[in-house]
Amino acid sequence: MKNKLCLITGATSGIGRATALKLADLGASLLLLSRNEKMGEKICDQIKKGNSNAQTKFYKVDISSMKEVSNVSEKIKADFDHIDVLINNAGARFDQYFKNDEGIELTFATNHLGHFLLTLSLIEMLKKAPQGRIINISSPAHSRGTLEFDDIVAPANYDRRLAYGRSKLANLYFTYELSSRLKNYKITVNAVDPGGVATNFSRNNGIYAWLKHYLSYILQLKLISPQKAAETIVYLASSEDVSKTTGKYFYEKKEINSSPASYSKEAALKLWQISSKLTGSGSL
């Protein structure tokens, strides 16, 4: 991964942080995005202590804010001429109904819409790479998701599990549609099921919600470390074995099938159109 420039959202904790450290060990240069500036500086220092030649740069951004995503995209384009790997990792689930700065339901804005805008804003930089790679982090929760397209922006009856599931389903619609649209370019687009990971996911909802999420995976004997979860992401970012593989869903470095609903081309196209309108991004 030497001379490769990798961008990771949600890079200061959990899977994102573990992925950043593994890619740094492989010699990659890193652009790390997160809301937490203090932790961003800390992980940059940690990487440089392990390798004084490591190249890292931190950008503070709230991925749920379309204004902030647009601003940070312009900063990145001013600082660099290309990106080799884009890892859309940042994610959250909210027990209560919240809206982002633009009045969009926060789970959908954080997990899908911000990454949709970021990816399209930086797509020309990925086209300049010898072989660009885009990796979207989804979840098995996508199988619980349904997309009622008139109920995405401001749902009448908010359900945290449904909201999270539909945002993860949106990740897959985006992956498959983007892969199709980039078929004539040297850019692969794949999605990952990271598994049940021991992170601070859902900690924003309070200690009880976090423990409930954490214990559910322990009881299923499915809890893995962030380092283990990061292995598949690093594999997709670096391995020659998947240099031409696109439009696929991976778990533990193997292709798997996502839910039957996730392969709906009609739904993927409709989501794309809605996402373009909400973000003001151009066509691809």
Q: Which residues are catalytic?
A: 164
Q: Are 193 and 251 in contact (CB under 8 A)?
A: yes
What separation in angstroms does the CA of 30 have from each of 2, 43, 119, 122, 178? Answer: 11, 11, 16, 15, 23
**Beta-carbon contacts of residue 281 (< 8 Å; ≥ 6 apart):** 116, 117, 120, 121, 275
* Helix H or strand E encompassing 190: strand 187-192
Q: In what order do the strands lie in the sheet with 56-60?
A: 56-60, 29-34, 5-9, 85-88, 132-137, 187-192, 248-251, 254-256
3-state secondary structure of 139: coil
